Structure 1
Amino acid sequence: MISHILLALAFSSQCLATHETKGEGAKSLTTAEFKDAFRSSGIVPEILPAALDPSVSFYTAYSSGDGKAAQIIPGSKLKVQEATFPVEFSVENLQNATNITSTTRYLIYMLDADAPSRADPSARSFRHYLGGNFTLTGTNSSVLSTAQLLSNQSQPFNDFVQPNPGPNTGEHRYILALYVQPPRYNTAGFESAGMSTVRTNWNLTQWRTQLGLGPAIGATYFTIETNPNAQSGASAIGGSAMLSMVLGAVSLGSLMFLL
């Protein structure tokens, strides 16, 4: 029985490595996997609406400690020094989104759902970045070759502020979401709809109504743990896979013991 559990752990660790990997090892995820990860983390419905149903696979990448670009998937664990502005944004399955054309533009935000602390998120949601006029570049991602890059050339509404959570404030969840941008903002800033640049206590429901946005077509998130004694762990997706493998090994081991 023990040997089967160890085998399952070794195999699941290998599977996890394909999820939280760099460059060539990056892996495509289904929209169902994104949706399940947001629910298992509690972000849905605690922060994002229960109706979150991504139609595209939305990825970001960061510069890891060895200087290589690494894929971010839901639940990826970063260090503060790694949480600089993403190396890239990219998408898969864009054809599944509705009302999309070759000239469609997109907007992206990043927020801290646990500011100033997980136990007392009185500044939720803190907006770390908001930018519009993202378009498809026609180039594939250098991290995940099946994904298409998004980029923009315009000034963001809120410049990027690097996460710097206080010590011992718990695990912070940083959410990035992708929306179809209404055409009126192709030439007019979000301030034209009366939006404020204030970053704290951002009400996402009111914001969507204010800008006339539909639901997010894609989203992902990463975490930063501020407790120095906390155990590092897998992503939400990788962790679920590991648990399933271990439970399967236990069941198999029990059956062999009975035989």
Structure 2
Amino acid sequence: MFSSVGLAALALAAVASADDNARSVGTLEFKNLFVESGIVPNVIAALDPSVSFYAGYRSAADGHSELLVPGASLTVSEASLPIEFSVENLGNATGVTQQTRYLIYLLDTDAPSRDNPTSRNLRHYLAGNYTLATNSSGIVASDILPTASRLTVAANRFFPFTQFTPPNPQPNTGVHRFIYALYTQPSRFDTVGFESVGMDRATQNWNLSQWRTQLGLGPAIGATFFTIDTGANNGQGTSANRTDFTGTSGASTASVSLFASGLTVAATVLGLMAVF
């Protein structure tokens, strides 16, 4: 059973003031920032997004709901509680309709450390069956960026292949780059899990090319990333390209415990996306 304390904490996150400075990010800017960060081509061969894909988080500095733009620097506590996923320019994606389902992952490109990423592509989350959120008035807009459409997943379709594990890189392991990516979901997975095609549940050293082949996926239609700076690691403890310095606090035990309790029920009760 999800505790009343946990529900109260999530409710507070849901009603927090929105980001007054939220702005749309063009797909070319997403593409260029992935190159500037070194993620392309060192981690993934290429990224040519057709949509602008966003996550939302709660700022540690003022409690406001903030839009995650590519390259933002987050604290561990901020990264532990995403508020929503949303998308713009969806009409630019090939073969997408209002009924299309999507899958989303989160991975750490620099595990366990920036200069020795022996567990590169450590998977923190993988789930499918996301769709555009709708109500009686039509498609629901993002609470943070009104020009974006919110993504959601119904409780009866929420079966994550990899349950969300909050990012918590060890101190003094450098700047970790975390990627959220969005793919259109092949219809075969509307009713069966990814294990049906032999996907390995091991989360370390995730082979993205093999995974895409197994599932029959095209390229990601959108992606974003954030960093967590853990301190010096052979001179790689400071990010030269950080675009947002929100918050200074360390890991939040309370936030992490919310995920351990299971957020699906709480998200449904509060009208949030049933994300984790």
Deviates more, 1:79-88 or 1:216-225: 79-88
The alignment status of 1:124 with 2:124, answered yes or no, reads no
Measured on the aligned residues, the alpha-carbon RMSD in Å equals 2.0
The alignment status of 1:107 with 2:108, answered yes or no, reads no
Q: 2:80 & 2:31 partners in 1: Cα distance?
A: 25
Task: Provide the residue aligned with 1:221 in structure 2.
Answer: 225
Task: Provide the residue aligned with 1:200 in structure 2.
Answer: 204
Deviations 1:94-147 (A, max 9, x none): 000001112100000000000000010000110000010000012101110100
Task: Provide the residue aligned with 2:59 in structure 1.
Answer: 64
Q: 1:22 & 1:118 partners in 2: Cα distance?
A: 33
What is the identity percentage for the equivalent residue pairs of Structure 1 and Structure 2?
A: 56
Deviations 1:76-96 (A, max 9, x none): 000111111411000000000
CA shift at 1:237, angstroms?
9.6
CA shift at 1:24, angstroms?
2.2
Name the structure with the higher helix share.
1
Q: Which has the larger radius of gyration?
A: 1
Q: Which runs of 5+ in 1 are unaligned?
A: 1-20, 239-259
Contact preservation (8 Å) 1:23, 1:70: yes
Task: Provide the residue aligned with 1:165 in structure 2.
Answer: 169
1:1-259 to 2 correspondences below 5 Å: 23-50=19-46, 52-65=47-60, 66-137=62-133, 138-153=139-154, 154-227=158-231, 235=242
Q: Which runs of 5+ in 2 are unaligned?
A: 1-16, 134-138, 246-276
CA shift at 1:67, angstroms?
2.0
Contact preservation (8 Å) 1:37, 1:237: no
TM-score (norm 1): 0.80
* Number of aligned residue pairs: 217
CA shift at 1:152, angstroms?
0.8
Q: Which amino acid aligns with 2:145?
A: L
CA shift at 1:197, angstroms?
1.4
TM-score (norm 2): 0.75
Q: 1:231 & 1:61 partners in 2: Cα distance?
A: 24
Q: 2:170 & 2:18 partners in 1: Cα distance?
A: 28
